[in-house]
Amino acid sequence: MLEALHAYDKALLIMLAESGRPPEAVIRQLVSAIAAMEEKGVVAEREPLRNVVHGGEDYLRQHCGEEAAG
């Protein structure tokens, strides 16, 4: 289930990037954080987050800050 949620979060990031709304620097920061999560292991990084469904958002807030992660 966590891998499916991760795929969904990545799809949302692609949608945001293609919309052109967030600055390119923010998109790069978010993509970098997602790549770091994948290097460490998606399940291992998402399991300790308090909210499983919104764990990707929590992870991005922790690694990119509220301003970038929204």
Encode pLDDT of 18-65 as tens digits.
999 999 999 999 999 999 999 999 999 998 887 878 888 999 999 999
Burial class (CB in 10 A: 0-12, 13-18, 19+), 59: buried
Q: What is the pTM of this model?
A: 0.89
| CA atoms 56, 57, 62, 67: torsion sign | positive
